[in-house]
Chain A
Amino acid sequence: MALLNTLIPSLARSPANSPTDSQRPADLGRTVKPAYEVKETPEAFGVTVYLPGVAKEGLELTAEEGQIRIVGRRAWKQPQGWTSVYRESSDAAFELVLSHDNAVEIDKIAAEVRDGVLRVSLPKHEAIKPRKITVS
């Protein structure tokens, strides 16, 4: 078995959608990856995450060593008496993990959510900001 696993590494791999991170909330279960955009300015990175159906209360933003985890739980639950006829969306929570090489000032991260769109501003660390050096 050991030899087989070395030859065919895919047998030893865990499925891509079930990470075994210790930082992950335990009650999260299966998640979907939301649509997102990343933009960059000289001062900061701007991340726009589309989280339809997620209110401020259901949102968790965790900054860890080298990565940022965004978890959005849906605020809406199917009321009693409603039967679903046709579904395209999922009830699963949203989860997005971005790694950032510690180039971000974690203390200055700002986020706002409006109408199901989360905008996170990640100010760049002083060390990587472009700097103009005057020659004397």
Chain B
Amino acid sequence: MRLVRYTYPTQRILEPSSRFQPSPWAGLESEIDRLFETALGGFTNDTASNRFAVDLYEDKDNTYVRAELPGVSRDDIGVEMVEGYLTITAARKAPPAKEGAEEESFSFSRSISISEDIDTGKVAASYENGVLTVTLPKREETKPRKINVAVK
């Protein structure tokens, strides 16, 4: 016995008393669905690729980068800002699967181009619930400023 990947039941399985005859294909349908999901699942598996989801936000003082890095120790996160590129590196360490086996380690890295002029000295980062938030303060001179012009 083993855990079987769950496939959503088709409508026909859910409604056996529907006005239609039960489809002779219902079992085959879910079997094919499952086959596709197992075969294609590897392409969308985020844990197996070294990319991670990144969001970019902005308000009037800061640019924010939020990176989804579940299960990473704070010591293994590196944030670097070089010439308009923000680079985030992280490593996830899993305990050895078997006794005596080597520790599994997986590293991620991503660079994001930041077009805004950033005050690199004041970049801050926090990590909560597996999400890293990097706050990049905009430089004073690039902030939108309201200038009142007196019309004579």
Contacts and interface: CB of A to CB of B under 8 A. Distances in A.
B20 A117 contact: no
A89 to B, nearest CB: 4
A98 interface: yes
A19 B8 contact: yes
B140 interface: no
Given A14-B10, A115-B71, A117-B70, A86 B23 contact: no
B100 to A, nearest CB: 16
Interface string A83-100: 111111100000001111
Interface residues on A, range: 35 or more
A97 B37 CA distance: 14
A50 B71 contact: yes
A88 B20 CA distance: 42
Interface residues on B, range: 35 or more
Contact of B46 (A20, A35, A54): A35
Where chain B touches its partner, the secondary structure class is loop
B17 interface: no
A97 B6 contact: yes
A53 B57 contact: no
Contacts of B127: 115
Interface of B: 1-6, 8-12, 14, 19-21, 23, 25-26, 29, 33, 45-47, 53-60, 63-64, 66, 68-73, 97, 127-131
Given A76-B128, A97-B6, 17 more contacts: A35-B45, A35-B46, A35-B47, A38-B3, A45-B3, A52-B53, A53-B68, A76-B131, A78-B57, A82-B58, A82-B59, A87-B55, A88-B54, A89-B54, A89-B68, A115-B73, A122-B3
